[in-house]
Amino acid sequence: MRQTKAGRRRSPRSAAAKPASGGRFGKFGGRYVPETLMAALDELTRIYEAAIADRAFRSELNDLLRTYSGRPTPLSDTPRLSDKVGCRVLLKREDLNHTGAHKINNTLGQVLLARRMGKRRIIAETGAGQHGVATATACARFGLECVVYMGEEDMARQGLNVYRMRVLGATVVPVSSGTRTLKDATNEALRDWVTNVTTTHYVIGSVVGPDPFPRIVRDFQSVIGSEARSQMLERVGALPAAVVACVGGGSNAMGIFSGFIPDASVRLVGVEAAGEGMATGRHAASLGAGRPGVLHGSLSYVLQSDDGQVMPAHSVSAGLDYPGVGPEHAHLKDSGRVAYVTATDREALDAFHALARLEGILPALESSHAIAWVMGARWRAKDTVLINLSGRGDKDVAHVAGLTGARV
């Protein structure tokens, strides 16, 4: 039944669950921000809705994705990994995008929106630096001023990406407040936006933040899911049994899931970072162990103390090291459409090495969590599993070497 329906061409947008009303996904989402930002969020909503309905905008973005970022990204079969897992495993190769991750899908789209709004100053937050690099890249391409907020601790861990952003012409501002990581970089970017809102667009990097950001980022990332769905039908002739993606804020996962949400036969699995183990409390599993709360402008699951203070997250992968998660994921968890599971630092590192040795692909440590979970789960021989390989692992090589005591 699904198979016959599956062959029909659908617009990518219809596949994604739109927020019902007031920018909410069920009870989650919303706009929990200072009054100063409300006008800018209204303006962004208006401009965004007009843009995606505009054929010229879509065609310009698609053209950039094709000729600048290198889309469509391929699906790769993994014969040796598949042998080990016990069923056919395919990878959606977002690592082959320009700048090495899915982040550019969103930054190109948002920079085009900024241009439509006449805003020539762009700000962004970044954790590992991938979103910062993708934003700096899009700004360079369009000649816009770019300021990236980054926690001091992350700057020390990701020196190479800091330098890449500077080479691309961006200003990287160190953030020394709080935990000096992604959470605090996001606070600082929001403070900048409150101050410079009339001249500046905030290119948020994940499906988080106040409405309309979670749906804008999801829609710009939904190209992953719509491509992957047609590629599956073309290559395999059927939809996958499961689609698996890592979840920090959750943009790569929302991107690929959005293509499959209406396909009830497809199991959707989001893998959060269990860090040193769920029992240790040192993890980043907001959906697995958090409670509903408000962080960075929306209601979602948040790692927090009994007294409502946000707790520091932990993961070997800086991109998953975030105590919140996108509000649509919170809704998909509560509705049961997506299963959220975890993988530890150790499991992710093992998967990083496994994919390198078995397939000649270095996965980002973020994506390694998804691979790790698939390697540890039970499958039937006839299953086909699709993993979103959200980024490449070159950025992590020095970090992994350090952890294993190797010299580079």
Partner 1 sequence: MVRAEGRAALIPYLTAGYPTLDASRDALRMVAEAGADFIEVGIPFSDPLADGPVIQRSSQVALDAGMTVRKALDMIRDLLLPVPVIVFSYLNPVMAYGVERFTADARAAGVSGLLLTDVPAGEDTAIEQTVRKGGLDLIRLIAPTTVDRRLAEVVKGASGFLYLISRLGVTGARTTIDAGADRMIARVRAATTLPVAVGFGLATAEQARAVARIADGVVVGSALVERLGQGIESARALMVELRAAVVR
Nearer to partner 1, 37 or 387 (CB): 37
Among 89, 168, 170, 302, the residue binding partner 1 under the rule CB under 8 A is 302
Please say if 335 is a catalytic residue.
no
Among 195, 265, 280, 335, the residue binding partner 1 under the rule CB under 8 A is 195
Among 10, 141, 191, 399, the residue binding partner 1 under the rule CB under 8 A is 191
- What percent helix, strand, coil does the chain show, rounded to 5? 50, 20, 35
Report the Cα–Cα distance between both ends of the chain, in Å, rounded: 54
Amino acid, single-letter form, for residue 395: K
Please say if 226 is a catalytic residue.
no
- Ranges within 325-364 binding partner 1 (CB under 8 A): none
Q: How many residues interact with partner 1 (rule CB under 8 A)?
A: 39
- Ranges within 162-181 binding partner 1 (CB under 8 A): 177-178
Compute the CA torsion angle 80, 82, 85, 86 (nearest 10 deg).
-120
Amino acid, single-letter form, for residue 200: T
Nearer to partner 1, 183 or 283 (CB): 183
Residue 101, both tokens: 């991750």
β-pairing, 24-25 vs 28-29, is: antiparallel
Among 143, 309, 382, 405, the residue binding partner 1 under the rule CB under 8 A is 309
Please say if 176 is a catalytic residue.
no
Nearer to partner 1, 183 or 218 (CB): 183
For residue 210, the minimal CB distance to partner 1 (Å) is 9
Among 151, 214, 225, 293, the residue binding partner 1 under the rule CB under 8 A is 293
Q: Please tell me the distance from the alpha carbon of residue 296 to that of residue 307, in angstroms, as a whole number.
A: 18
Looking at the chain, the number of H-run helices and the number of E-run strands are 17, 14
Nearer to partner 1, 11 or 198 (CB): 198
Long-range contacts of the stretch 352-357 (C-beta < 8 A, 24+): 352/393, 352/396, 352/400, 354/81, 354/84, 355/78, 355/81, 356/393
Quick check: 21 binds partner 1 (CB under 8 A)? Answer: no
**Active-site residues: which are they?**
103, 125, 390
Site residues (vs partner 1, CB under 8 A):
22, 30-40, 177-178, 183-184, 187, 190-191, 194-198, 291-297, 302, 304-310
